[in-house]
């Protein structure tokens, strides 16, 4: 679909849509552009919502729950990585200490 951006209203409309899309994309929301356009068209035309308040609330709650689960999984993964790094540092330190003790023991025996 090609829409001319010749009038002030068309250019402003495009800018508003572009800004809205950038914000939504930055928020990391997975959205269907055609459905977003449908909602905008419905509101601008004065049409009633195609979803009930209960459907809206349920949908938002589900998205929030999934987002929290993803966030918790990412935090758990990062925690596991941090623990692994700490263990590796500990093992390297232990190895250096053991080597130092072996050298010291050799020096005592000679």
Which phi and psi (to 5°) does residue 48 adopt?
-70, 160
Where are the domains positioned within the chain? 1-50, 58-110
Alpha carbon distance 78, 102 (integer Å): 36
How many angstroms separate the CA atoms of 87 and 74, rounded?
20
pLDDT score for 76: 93
Taking alpha carbons only, the member of 47, 31, 37, 46 closest to residue 14 is 37
Convert the pLDDT of each residue in 4-53 to its tens digit.
999 999 999 999 999 999 999 998 888 999 999 999 999 999 999 999 99
Distance, in Å, from the CA atom of 74 to the CA atom of 80, rounded to the nearest integer, reads 10
pLDDT per position as a tens digit, 42-80: 999 999 999 999 999 999 999 999 989 999 998 999 999
């Amino acid at each position: 679909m090609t829409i001319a951006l010749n009038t002030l209203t068309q250019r402003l409309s495009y800018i508003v849509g572009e800004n809205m899309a950038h914000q939504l994309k930055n928020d990391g929301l997975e959205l269907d552009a055609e459905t977003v356009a449908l909602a905008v068209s419905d509101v601008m035309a004065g049409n009633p919502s195609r979803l009930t308040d209960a459907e809206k609330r349920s949908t938002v709650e589900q998205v929030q729950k999934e987002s929290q689960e993803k966030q918790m999984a990412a935090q758990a993964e990062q925690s596991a990585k941090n623990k692994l790094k700490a263990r590796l540092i500990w093992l390297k330190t232990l190895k250096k200490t053991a080597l130092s003790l072996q050298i010291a023991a050799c020096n005592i025996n000679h």
